[in-house]
Every structure is written in C-alpha cells, then in structure tokens.
Amino acid sequence: MRPLEPAVWKTAFAWVAGVALSVLFLASGLWKITDPQSAAMRMSQALVPESWSLFAAVAFGVVETVSGVFVLVPRFRRWGAILTGLLLLAFLGWFAIHYAALRGADCSCFPWVKRAVGPGFFIGDGLMLLLAAAAGLWSKPPGSPRTAALIFAAVAVFAGVSYGVDMAHRTGTLAPAAITVDGQRYPLRHGRTFLFFFNPECRHCIDAAKSMSQFDWGDTRVVAIPVEEPQYSAQFLQ
C-alpha cells in the first residue's frame, strides 16, 4: 500500500489539466513576448494605464510563458499551477473591478480567440482556476529549483531579445504619441492604426470611405481626419 501516492485517475487528471493550461498560457505568453507592442495596445484597451502597458505586456508575457512551461513538466507542475492560479486571480480581479467599463469588450486574453468580458468570462477563468488547483494538488512535490530558475531566466532573455529586435526594426516617420479622437486622448504608438484624410463633401472621399467600410479591419483602428468642413464628419461616417 502506498498512501502518499495519489490515485491514478488524479495523476491522469493532473496531466490533462497541466497540458490544457500549458497550451493556453504558452499561446498567450509567447504572443505577448513576440509582439509586445500589439499586446500593450490591447492592455491599454483593457484600461491598463498607457505608461505601464508595454512593461505589463512583457512582464505578463514572461510569467505566462514560464507558467505554461512549468505546468507542463511534472516536476515543476505544482509551481506552474500556483503561478497560473495567481495570474488567473489577478485577471479575474482586474476585470471584476473594471467590469462596468469593460463589459462586452474583448478581454484580449489570447491572440486568436475572442472572449467578451461577461459572465462567461468569469465562468471560463473559474474553470481554469479549478484546473490549476487540480494540477497543483494532484502532482508530485516540485524539485530542481535551479533548473526552474534557468528556465525563467531563459524566457526573460528571450523576451528581452524579442523586444530589442522589435525596437531595431522600427523605421518610418514617428507619429505623435497621442492625438485627440472623439474628444479623448488617443495613443498612436501601439498596434496598427490607419489615418484617413478626407473632405466630407468630396465625392471621391465618400466612395473611398464606402469601399473601406466593407473591409475586415480586424484589430486595426481607423481614425478619420477631416481636412475641411469638420462639422460634417459625423454625417460622413454614418
């Protein structure tokens, strides 16, 4: 009899939970590390202060990636479960605090999956929290802290190199840090933005805007800038 060994089904469930969490957190973390500017833009949209959004994107990218690796490897799974659990609690807390402002908006949790902030978001993250608890409780005690530290350092270095490469590839005229759009300050230095210069009374501009209204813009933000007759802008865009 081996009373300290968890039941086989618990070990199997810990594996399934670990793999599922690993896929989710690696996808989210690697996306933030490899495209920090876009991740920062999404964080700004999720009400993270603009001045902190880039740092937050890189930091969360590193921690999420490390969590994804740890929760996959049996000897680090408990640490991974603790990290993913803390991250999920942080996300749940943030969206609960800002629920009124962010309700219905994309949570920007994953690069390809759209998840609107609402009851379903909290249920989904709650289930992930349960998976993390199962993965942590039903895994063997963690070991090899040195190897774990090396993994953390490697991911951090990778994030730093990725950020450096991103910075080095920045060429082209630099836009103002922000402009005023619909009466609000509007950052221009994160993600994709299309500035459209038009005259509301110009027939060619109307045709161009009608054509562009059919485009699938994805995450690209469009800002219309009237060069004349700004009082007719709203009518132009209707």
Partner 1 sequence: MTGLKAGVSEDFAELKQVFGFSGYPSGVALFNGRQRALLTQFEGSEPAATLKQLGFIY
Residues numbered 149 to 168 that lie near partner 1 (CB under 8 A) are: 166
Residue 55 in contact with partner 1, rule: CB under 8 A? no
Q: Is residue 93 within 8 Å of residue 58, measured between CB atoms?
A: no
Q: Classify strands 221-226 and 184-187 as parallel, antiparallel or unpaired.
A: unpaired
Q: Is residue 226 within 8 Å of residue 199, measured between CB atoms?
A: yes
CA–CA distance, 86 with 41 (Å, rounded to integer): 23
Residue 229 in contact with partner 1, rule: CB under 8 A? no
Q: Provide, rounded to whole angstroms, the least separation between the CB of residue 118 and partner 1.
A: 22
CA–CA distance, 138 with 140 (Å, rounded to integer): 7
Answer for which of 90, 96, 127, 177 binds partner 1 (CB under 8 A) is 177
Q: Which residues are paired to 181 by β-bridges?
A: 184
3 or 49: whose CB is closer to partner 1?
A: 49
Q: Provide, rounded to whole angstroms, the least separation between the CB of residue 71 and partner 1.
A: 31
Q: Provide, rounded to whole angstroms, the least separation between the CB of residue 85 and partner 1.
A: 33
Q: Is residue 83 within 8 Å of residue 70, measured between CB atoms?
A: yes
Residue 175 in contact with partner 1, rule: CB under 8 A? yes
Indicate the helix (H) or strand (E) that contains 126.
Answer: helix 119-137
47 or 179: whose CB is closer to partner 1?
A: 179
By CB atoms closer than 10 A (0-12, 13-18, 19+), residue 25 is: buried
CA–CA distance, 51 with 61 (Å, rounded to integer): 17
**Alpha-carbon distances, residue 11 vs 5, 7, 16 (angstroms):** 9, 6, 9
Phi, psi of 181 (to 5 degrees): -125, 125
85 or 200: whose CB is closer to partner 1?
A: 200
Residue 224 in contact with partner 1, rule: CB under 8 A? yes
28 or 37: whose CB is closer to partner 1?
A: 37
Residue 182 in contact with partner 1, rule: CB under 8 A? yes
Residue 51 in contact with partner 1, rule: CB under 8 A? no
Judged by CB under 8 A, which stretch of 43-51, 113-121, 130-138, 213-221 contacts partner 1?
213-221
Residue 170 in contact with partner 1, rule: CB under 8 A? yes
Q: Provide, rounded to whole angstroms, the least separation between the CB of residue 184 and partner 1.
A: 8
Residue 8 in contact with partner 1, rule: CB under 8 A? no
Contacting residues toward partner 1, per CB under 8 A: 37, 166, 170-177, 179-182, 186, 188-199, 202, 204-213, 215-218, 220-227, 230, 233-238
